[in-house]
Amino acid sequence: MAMSYQQVWQDAYDLDALNVRLHDGVPLDHLADRGRSYRDLMFQRFYPLAAPRPGDRVLEIGGGVGWIMQAVLEGYPGISELVDLDISENMIRRAQERWSHPKVRYQLYDGLTFPFPDDSFDVVYSCACIQHIEKHAAYFVFKEAHRVLKPGGHAVLHLLSIHQLPRPNNYTYEEECRHHLEGRGDHHWHHYYGLDELVAMLAMEIGVSDFDLQVQEGETHQFVHFSKRTGQRFLDADLLQLMYPQSLTLLAERDEALAAVARAQATIEEMRATRRWRFAEALRRTARRRWSR
């Protein structure tokens, strides 16, 4: 593969073992309700505007063995296709073993580049997956999710807040770091995100529209929303009040630079439409022909 990824997700666990490991020991008869809970948090409580509509193509990133996919299709049966994207052949095999549906497709990929054309999906979502991906690789997951999203479509991604550490019954920050540094494969590594970090990466670097962040369960579970090419950077302007002042300055500078580039491009296009520009281009072509003789 083109990236490093935890071996724990690649190992050939059977379905029973994966149900335990993926879902933190939650009893099997509770997993359907757990999937519905994630679905309802994304598409009812926080972002009903992102709920799949009849005919939509929907992508889940890292669907595990399919419990959330099953809940999404149960709640939104008008979906035309639901695709699960995963780096693990064994995970896909166990998901197909547990549940299948005519509208569902499982797709293996390399962890960096989504194997879909631009503007392919109306809705992209992910739950309890990206937090396990190293941040330098997660950047490409965010970028690819934006690329394959249709203009005006919606993405909802679940992440863990930095406030997850320290928490009772959780690893300390130092222990978490040692899991990464020592390559401990028996532990689910976690990566934590803050608001300004997400704004810098998504709104400023990747250029998403309608960025928003909602927090659930004592500021530990975050749900990020974004769209594509709607012309509006933030879904809720009040979010700006939670950011560091320097971030607002950088956003303003970036907007000013982009506006300057747009004005320059417009001026060039306007000049190209004039007779003087066309005459100058004709002279340049004539000069090049004479020089090449």
2 in any annotated domain:
no
Q: Do 219 and 262 fall within a single domain?
A: no
176 in any annotated domain:
yes
Question: What is the residue range of 259's domain?
Answer: 252-292
110 in any annotated domain:
yes
**Spatial CA neighbour of 121 closest among 56, 165, 67, 68:** 56
Q: Do 213 and 75 fall within a single domain?
A: yes
Q: Do 82 and 210 fall within a single domain?
A: yes
Q: Do 215 and 262 fall within a single domain?
A: no
Whether the predicted model's global pTM rises above the 0.85 cut: no
Does 248 or 101 have the greater pLDDT score? Answer: 101
Q: Which of 70-84, 99-113, 186-200 is least confident?
A: 186-200
What pLDDT sits at residue 4? 43
Domain count for the chain, please give it.
Answer: 2
Q: Do 139 and 271 fall within a single domain?
A: no
**Is the bond preceding residue 166 a cis peptide, omega within 30 degrees?**
yes
1 in any annotated domain:
no
To the nearest 10 degrees (0 to 180), the angle between helices 89-98 and 15-22 is 100
Confidence at 69, pLDDT banded by 50, 70, 90? very high
Confidence at 269, pLDDT banded by 50, 70, 90? confident
CA distance 240 to 242: 5
CA distance 59 to 38: 15
CATH number at residue 13: 3.40.50.150
Confidence at 20, pLDDT banded by 50, 70, 90? low
Q: Which of 173-177, 189-193, 259-263 is least confident?
A: 259-263
**Spatial CA neighbour of 70 closest among 88, 58, 87, 86:** 58
281 in any annotated domain:
yes
Q: Do 277 and 227 fall within a single domain?
A: no
Contact 43, 51 (CB under 8 A): yes
